[in-house]
Amino acid sequence: MKKFRKVLDGLTTSSPGGTMGSPSCGSAAGTPTAAPTPKEIDVQETLVSENFQLCKTVRHGFPYQPTSLAFDPVQKILAIGSRSGGVRILGRPGVDCYCQHESGAAVLQLQFLINEGALVTACADDTLHLWNLRQRRPAVLHSLKFNRERITFCHLPFQSKWLYVGTERGNTHIVNIESFILSGYVIMWNKAIELSTKTHPGPVVHLSDSPKDEGKLLIGFEGGTIVQWDLRAKKADFRIYYDEAIHSVSWHHEGKQFMCSHSDGSLTLWTLRNTTKPFQVTFPHGKIQKDGRKESCKPILKVEYKTSRSSEPFVIFSGGLSYDKAGRRPALTIMHGKAITVLEMDYPIVEFMVLCETPYNNEVQDPYAVVVLLEKDLIVVDLTQSNFPVFENPYPMDIHESPVTCTAYFADCPPDIIPILYSIGAKNKKTGYSHKEWPIGGGTWTLGSHTYPEIIITGHADGSIKFWDASAFTLQMLYKLKTSKVFEKPKPGEGRAAELGEEDPFAVQMVSWCPHSRIFCVVGISAHIILYRFSKYDANTQIVSLEVRLQCEPEDIITPSENENNPCFSEPGSHSPQPHHQHPLSPGSRTPDGAKDSIPCLKVKDKMVRVPPGYQSDLVIQLLWVDGEPPQQITSLDLNSAYGLLAFGNCNGLAVVDYLQKTVILCISTLDLYGATDPYQRLTRSPRRNRQSTSGLTELTDNQQSIDMERSKSPTSVKGPGRKLSLPTDLKTDLDHVNGHCTSPTSQPCSAGKPRIPMGPEGPRLTRRGPGRPPFRKAQSAACMEISLPVSHTEGHASRRAMLQQLHGVTMYSHDEHHTTAAYCWNERESRENSFSRSRSSSVSSIDRDTKEAITTLQFGESYGRKSDALPTPCLWVGTSLGVGILIPLSIPTDHEERMEDPVTVGPSGAVQMLKGSVLRFGFLDCNGALIQSPYEVWRDLNAPEDPDRTRRRKLVHFSPSSSQDAFGEGHLAVVCSERQAKVFLMPSQSCLFVHNITESSFVLRADVVSLCNSVCLACFCANGHVMTLSLPSLRPLMDVNYLPLTDMRIARTFCFTNEGQALYLSSPTEIQRITYSQEMCDNLQEMLGELFTPIETPEAQNRGFLKGFFGGNAHTFDREELFGEAAAGKASRSLAQHIPGQGGVEGMKVAASGAVGELARARIALDERGQRLGELEERTALMMTSAETFSKHAHELMLKCKDKKWYQF
């Protein structure tokens, strides 16, 4: 039992938070108070640092920017290389492994050591790597770095330990796979071609051994030269010179002919009997025009020539389409006999590979499928059926079908939610797939012992939502929801897209989901919210729409005042936004000066619509345009099914909606939330000024600044104009200074685009400091966020600012996107000069320049609205971008009938807490340190047939803090985390018990109170890539790992924690990376991952027969060791390539142990098979002995019967 002894009398003034330039925690005015509570807190904290370890678990999705492909026909596993140096290895569903080259160089080519559990990768930095796949986490055993040559092509013959490596200079080197040492045997390009040739043949683009004789190597040069090299005699058997460049070569299995693909869209067939000219030249897609000439065609990048026992040979190639037909999609062509089938693809083809039954190249291939790797998809075509259907892909390769804009992760969900979502989603699955089993079925995978229901939700740019089953380190799509169906399709040239240049008006910005009540809420980029209810029945429904005018009035303009040091509070309601429950104006309504007013960005369908089973829209909330200005993006959202309430906020204010009665119960500006508890002194607002015209781009002058208002583009868009507003020079400094450093997204002001009165350096400033607060706090988001996005001219600055604003949803503005280059250079120069001479902006100093205060987080829960409250009541916790936490009590009728009729009332603001940086998260613990869950409503199907025996009343589940009163009486603990700081308050006394400054040099991007090992902790992800965990309630640091040295905005925007020590983020536009920070899960990770290698007996080669063996050459007597070994070929030059040993230490021991285990397993299988064969032989011998005895017996009986007969008696 660990005891924390804190004397609460005057605690807040002596806490660390009191010395950081913040008001005291005890009360809003900063005066310390003594809470009427016991003086001793006993909380048993079970979590220690040994419970935490950070590691990657599994990666889902399509490999980003793929480059290469390989397949092991015996193990039946597939490998995909990418431009960033990653390798994904796929087997049966559940077998999915990700490897990463430390160099990050692009993977040019992959070669499996077939049925050996190893993989060779050739990278763009001219390095070969040997990966051991006989372990669940593959590791590099050897590397070979070429110093003087560039690798262009590799070939590894089946069951050979010598790898042929072609280079850009046209030379061919040979590498020993076992030792990864270069052989002294080299085929130089000038020896391969004739001495009389005047031009260089070009890089090596093809290497393959002859199916007829392994001692013959076919070398293809890019310039059109093909050479068959006799490895024993060290000379060329024949040379072919062709006019067109060669892209690929493919042998016939008999080794008597081969096919080449060329840059002019032609295929040439060559026979070994006559190599002077091609046996056949075909242009598969080149038609003869009227003038007699053939159409010019695109290059055929790859061709495969495969034979079949039961039918004509297959010729499969990519490319070769004619140039004349514009707009044609990339295609894969299958020529089978006289039939030509063109399969059009959605994306360009990167690579394809034909899957065959046999690994031997001198046998009939019998192709059964072709794997096609596209730029953004992976498909497998069934070749055994005449219509060539596609196999249904069991991997989640379509995460990026529309770009991912937000993610949510839920662990330990209710067990019934996954089956019901799957059953609903299965009804909408596509059909027409091949009925055969998925052909990539290698590896083994079993359901681990540490499994529980997990769901991942992804929001996309087209407005779609996908629910994924993420249990047991797998990912399978359950259900897809399209939010755009709620709205009318915007007509071209109308609506928000035309007004603001918005490409994705339905893009999902954030989601909120209650798994218990199955209520789902979506926030879109067009300032709209859609609330969905789940039903197993279809229904005809009328979509209910609420319109909210959440826009501050122009009185918020700052004007210098003589009385700036006098506290002058505004009258309540003077700036409050107003809700609109009806359409006050038609969709095309405009103000007298022509500006849009009181209309939403999108139009909701007003007709009855039939909705299928699943999530059905129950309510749509939209923010309205005000005086020609579009609504600000929504920055925070929370819903509670037990209360029937939904709250959301932006940089203008807060709104609370009763979704049961479909009414707005609160719509208020952030300033009016404080009431008399405002911790800042604020000036009165000036009278309303005439609005400046917003048409066109206003040039920056001495008397006015640009007020051009355009909504920033969608989360998926990086280019193009953004919503703009000129800022004072000192604020623009902080926005533009992003080269290597970046200020906090939430600490920037959020303006509604009102004109400002320019102020000089000596001009008066608005001061809103509380008692004892210094004029400027330290940099709120100081330089610690290295961003790997390119920064080039204004586009880079604009895109990074746009992504920063999306991170917390707070809009930031700039006016330099459309200025000329000269103007930009001037602004950038001024920005750099000012960045060294002025203080960086912070959450507090920002209010000296702007009036906006964004709502950054919201949380419903049972709490104590005031210090005098004896019992907990429903409350709404509100966190703002100025580090203020506000508690709003709610009065909700408890009776079912009263709840549906009587209004919900909102009390005046209660407690106000102060933290450094924007508030990110609230959490609640009871006085024993256990997590208090939010109350919820048990799910009920509103469309179900009425049952007279069962009432349709709401069933609520509450987790009241008053139920835990063992040793501490009534009350609970409130955990508040901001960008810089975490605090734990005791409610209802509002005393600050614990304070921890999380970071001084960076800022927190994501924080959450999560459960782990039957306890709770605070998990934080910082902008500098650190992942931290803090104990609760004492806020002791438990883990601090520098996980991501460079954090880009995609990771920052999609990173999310969940319970049981798991987290995820979008590692690339197409991939989700899951990680764990739990030591227990790291220990059990090996058994939960799939096994890539399984011991399988290599199929035996077919008997060649006496005549084929006699006339077919001595292919099986070829000894490569005798030719390429050090004894015969000598050593290669040390300067040519450098050997780099693989990972040593424990990893190397694991590799060796894993390899030994694999060898033992293979030996055991071999012994079992040998024993089985011996057993079969023994049985056959016994049968033969029995048969012989029976024959002897019958023969003896016959002899006795016939021995006395004469010959003539027969």
> Using one digit for the tens of pLDDT, what is the confidence trace for 766-793?
333 333 333 323 323 222 333 333 333 3
Amino acid letter for position 331: A
Cis omega (within 30 of 0) for bond into 988: yes
> Using one digit for the tens of pLDDT, what is the confidence trace for 144-179?
999 989 999 999 999 999 999 999 999 999 999 999
Whether 361 has a pLDDT exceeding 70, the answer reads yes
Among 510-524, 592-606, 675-689, the minimum mean pLDDT is found in 675-689
The band of 758, judged by pLDDT with boundaries at 50, 70 and 90, is very low
Whether 985 has a pLDDT exceeding 90, the answer reads yes
Alpha helices in 654-754 (DSSP H): 670-674, 729-736
Q: Which of 850, 662, 806, 832 is nearest to 738 (CA)?
A: 832
Hey, how many other C-beta atoms are within 10 angstroms of the C-beta on 1122? 11
Cis omega (within 30 of 0) for bond into 414: no
The DSSP H or E segment spanning 548 is strand 545-549
Q: Are 204 and 223 in contact (CB under 8 A)?
A: no
φ and ψ at 604, to 5 degrees?
A: -80, 145
> Using one digit for the tens of pLDDT, what is the confidence trace for 277-305?
999 999 999 887 777 777 889 999 999 99
Q: At what angle do helices 821-837 and 729-736 cross, to 10 degrees?
A: 100
Give SS3 for 896. Answer: helix
State residue 949's pLDDT score.
59
Give the CA distances from residue 110 to residues 85, 121, 478, 815, in Å, rounded to whole numbers and listed in that order.
12, 5, 33, 49
Q: What is the average per-residue pLDDT within 916-939? A: 92
Helices (H) and strands (E) in the chain, counts: 16, 65
Residues 6+ positions from 289 with CB-CB distance below 8 Å: 295
Give SS3 for 1119. Answer: coil
Q: What percent of the chain has pLDDT over 90?
A: 53
* Cα–Cα distance, 694 to 595 (Å, whole number): 9
State residue 1200's pLDDT score.
80
> Using one digit for the tens of pLDDT, what is the confidence trace for 518-531?
999 999 999 999 99
The band of 432, judged by pLDDT with boundaries at 50, 70 and 90, is confident
Maximum pairwise Cα distance, the chain: 151
Q: Which of 922, 924, 956 is nearest to 939 (CA)?
A: 956
Whether 701 has a pLDDT exceeding 80, the answer reads no
State residue 896's pLDDT score.
83
Q: Give one DSSP letter per residue of 332-384, joined into a string.
A: EEEEETTEEEEEE-SS-EEEEEEEES-S-TTS---EEEEEEEESS-EEEEESS
Query: Degrees (nearest 5) of the Cα angle 123, 129, 131?
Result: 125
Task: Please give the structure tokens belonging to residue 316.
Answer: 């499969």
State residue 952's pLDDT score.
65
Task: Please give the structure tokens belonging to residue 311.
Answer: 């039918």
In 807-854, at which residue ranges do the beta strands (DSSP E only) sit? none
* C-alpha 774, offset from chain centre: 42
Whether 795 has a pLDDT exceeding 80, the answer reads no
Q: Are 684 and 569 in contact (CB under 8 A)?
A: no
Q: Give me the residues paired with residue 408 across strands.
A: 457
Residue linked to tokens 């459960």: 1011
> Using one digit for the tens of pLDDT, what is the confidence trace for 635-647?
999 999 999 999 9
Among 13-27, 489-503, 1135-1149, the minimum mean pLDDT is found in 13-27
Residues 6+ positions from 1032 with CB-CB distance below 8 Å: 45, 923, 925, 929, 973, 975, 984, 1009, 1016, 1017, 1018
Give SS3 for 1161. Answer: helix
More confident residue, 1058 or 724: 1058
State residue 628's pLDDT score.
85
Q: What is the average per-residue pLDDT within 1163-1182? A: 71
Residue linked to tokens 């990770």: 1085
The secondary structure of residue 1140, as a DSSP letter, is E
* Cα–Cα distance, 986 to 362 (Å, whole number): 78
> Using one digit for the tens of pLDDT, what is the confidence trace for 883-925?
999 999 999 998 888 888 899 999 887 778 899 999 999 999 9
Q: What is the 3-state secondary structure (H, E, C) of 218-264?
A: EEEECCCEEEEEECCCCEEEEEEECCCCEEEEEECCCCCEEEEEECC
State residue 749's pLDDT score.
40
Q: Which of 956, 961, 892, 967 is nearest to 933 (CA)?
A: 961
Give SS3 for 834. Answer: helix
Q: Which of 290, 300, 298, 203 is nearest to 247 (CA)?
A: 300
Whether 563 has a pLDDT exceeding 60, the answer reads no
State residue 1163's pLDDT score.
65
> Using one digit for the tens of pLDDT, what is the confidence trace for 15-54?
333 333 333 333 333 333 333 343 456 788 999 999 999 9
Q: What percent of the chain has pLDDT over 70?
A: 71
Convert 144-171 to b/e letters by CB count within 10 Å (16 or more is b): bebeebebbbbbbbbebbbbbbbbebbb
Give SS3 for 1005. Answer: strand
The DSSP H or E segment spanning 88 is strand 86-90
Alpha helices in 688-820 (DSSP H): 729-736, 793-808
Q: How many residues does the chain have?
A: 1210
Give SS3 for 1145. Answer: helix
Amino acid letter for position 30: G
> Using one digit for the tens of pLDDT, what is the confidence trace for 367-420?
999 999 999 999 999 999 989 999 999 999 999 999 999 999 999 899 999 999
State residue 370's pLDDT score.
97
* Cα–Cα distance, 69 to 138 (Å, whole number): 17
The secondary structure of residue 736, as a DSSP letter, is H
State residue 1059's pLDDT score.
94
Q: Which of 975, 1011, 1022 is nearest to 996 (CA)?
A: 975
* Cα–Cα distance, 19 to 981 (Å, whole number): 13
The secondary structure of residue 684, as a DSSP letter, is P
Q: What is the average per-residue pLDDT within 692-701? A: 32
Q: Are 203 and 167 in contact (CB under 8 A)?
A: yes
Whether pTM > 0.85 for this model: the answer is no
Residue linked to tokens 């730029």: 375
The DSSP H or E segment spanning 621 is strand 614-623
Query: Degrees (nearest 5) of the Cα angle 1143, 1144, 1149?
Result: 115
> Using one digit for the tens of pLDDT, what is the confidence trace for 223-272?
999 999 999 999 999 999 999 999 999 999 999 999 999 999 999 999 99
Amino acid letter for position 1088: M
Q: What is the average per-residue pLDDT within 1192-1198? A: 84
Residue linked to tokens 């997590």: 931
Query: Degrees (nearest 5) of the Cα angle 160, 162, 166?
Result: 125
* Cα–Cα distance, 250 to 237 (Å, whole number): 18
- Please give the mean pLDDT across all residues of the chain: 78
> Using one digit for the tens of pLDDT, what is the confidence trace for 827-865?
333 333 333 232 333 333 333 344 578 999 999 999 988
Q: Which of 359, 355, 499, 327 is nearest to 440 (CA)?
A: 355
